[in-house]
């Protein structure tokens, strides 16, 4: 029921709810008898209360050789993972993802294995390990192609394009995204189409930020038409980053603020953290140092509460720049050292290089 409340209607939700080969026969009937959540906020609140117990249960049974236990664990992880991912709980994502992969392989359930691989790829993406995420995503894509699952293939192609763009492999990224866009239109999947336009915008930002904004506005138009909070929130965030690239921090700040307003309590830690980070950068460039410092502190508080070292590292990089502008050089150096420790080993090569230069000055 948390899945239904949190994930917006469309192929992604339908796919997650579809039983895999090893799913217990009575599971769907049992779930149908449960009371529905009235809102995403209510589902997230339930998750905050129950997640610790669920993760402990999964960890305790992850190595069970009992097929029935493995089957229930696999289903639990598949249905709960979107909540954990949207909440940004990276440690819990790893426990669930690895347990689900072990269970799926033990059960020889190919679809369950593909979900687990894709979910672990999402974990690596959120923690800045794009090469690792790409390898897992491609293994996931191979299985979905073998199973002839068009909507899952589309999602993997979309993720592949996103990851390749982050790694600077732009021609390969565009090829994957164009394939994903064609799949979305064949499937009549507006959310998938909107997300692909968003990723194309991120790709175009490297060479033509105005063209990037046009792609993001296409995504926003779809989000407005179908009433998708996440699509609209993401579009404004991405438009903000394009304006930063253009050297237009005032326009960027407006889009970041609108993105946070739209998101409200719907819960999307990756999108929220990127938006808050962009807002800090925009405010710093506008010379609004005090507000930027407060916003950066709020981002750090939220990242640390989730044990999200990757986002914390990116935020501390900005915090150091703000402290340095205040003349607090020793505090800035401390923030940069912490940021470098958090980001070393990730694929944030440009930020890591800048941190090393700042610390060497």
Per-residue pLDDT of 326-356, as tens digits, reads 999 999 999 999 999 999 999 999 999 999 9
Cα–Cα distance measured from residue 40 to residue 30, given in angstroms and rounded to the nearest whole number: 21
Backbone φ, ψ for residue 321 (5° rounding): -60, -40
Q: What is the mean pLDDT of residues 110-118?
A: 97
Percent of the chain whose pLDDT exceeds 70: 97
Q: Say if CB 280 and CB 295 are below 8 A apart.
A: yes
Q: What angle do CA 354, 357, 361 make, to 5 degrees?
A: 140
Angle between helices 150-166 and 170-187 (to 10 degrees): 160
Which of 41-50, 124-133, 283-292, 338-347 is the least confident region?
41-50
Average pLDDT for the chain = 93
pTM here? 0.92
Closest CA to 88 of 299, 297, 291: 299
pLDDT score at 1: 58
Q: Encode pLDDT of 1-13 as tens digits.
A: 578 878 888 888 8
pLDDT score at 28: 60
Q: Say if CB 183 and CB 144 are below 8 A apart.
A: no
Cα–Cα distance measured from residue 58 to residue 41, given in angstroms and rounded to the nearest whole number: 24
Cα–Cα distance measured from residue 308 to residue 311, given in angstroms and rounded to the nearest whole number: 6
**Confidence band (pLDDT; 50, 70, 90) for 32?**
low
pLDDT score at 332: 97
């Amino acid at each position: 029921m948390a899945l239904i409340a949190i994930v917006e209607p469309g192929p992604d939700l339908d796919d997650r709810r579809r039983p895999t080969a090893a799913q217990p026969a009575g599971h769907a009937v049992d779930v149908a008898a449960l009371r529905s959540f009235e809102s995403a906020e209510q589902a997230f609140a339930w998750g905050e209360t129950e997640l610790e117990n669920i993760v402990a249960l999964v960890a305790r049974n992850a190595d069970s050789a009992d097929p029935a236990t493995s089957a229930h664990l696999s289903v639990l992880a598949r249905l709960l993972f979107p909540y954990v991912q949207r909440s940004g709980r990276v440690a819990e994502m790893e426990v669930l993802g690895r347990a689900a992969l072990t269970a799926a392989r033990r059960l020889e359930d190919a679809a369950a294995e593909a979900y687990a691989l894709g979910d672990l790829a999402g974990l690596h993406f959120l923690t800045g390990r794009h090469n690792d995420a790409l390898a897992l995503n491609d293994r996931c894509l191979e299985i979905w192609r073998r199973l002839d699952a068009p909507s899952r293939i589309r999602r993997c192609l979309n993720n592949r394009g996103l990851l390749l763009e982050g790694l600077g492999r732009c021609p390969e990224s565009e090829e994957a995204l164009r394939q994903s866009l064609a799949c979305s239109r064949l499937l009549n999947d507006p959310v998938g189409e909107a997300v692909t336009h968003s990723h194309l915008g991120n790709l175009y930002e490297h060479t033509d930020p105005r063209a990037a904004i046009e792609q993001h506005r296409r995504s926003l138009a779809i989000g407005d038409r179908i009433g998708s909070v996440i699509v609209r929130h993401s579009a404004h965030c991405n438009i903000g980053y394009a304006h930063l690239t253009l050297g237009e921090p005032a326009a960027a700040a407006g889009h970041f603020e609108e993105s946070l307003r739209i998101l409200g309590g719907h819960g999307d830690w990756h999108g929220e953290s990127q938006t808050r980070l962009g807002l800090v950068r925009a405010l710093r460039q506008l010379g609004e140092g005090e507000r930027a410092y407060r916003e950066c502190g709020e981002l750090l508080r939220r990242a640390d509460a989730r044990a999200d070292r990757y986002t914390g590292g990116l935020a501390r990089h900005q915090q150091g720049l703000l402290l340095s502008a205040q003349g607090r050089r020793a505090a800035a150096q401390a923030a940069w050292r912490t940021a470098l420790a958090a980001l070393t080993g990730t694929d944030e090569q440009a930020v890591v290089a800048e941190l090393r230069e700042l610390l060497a000055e």
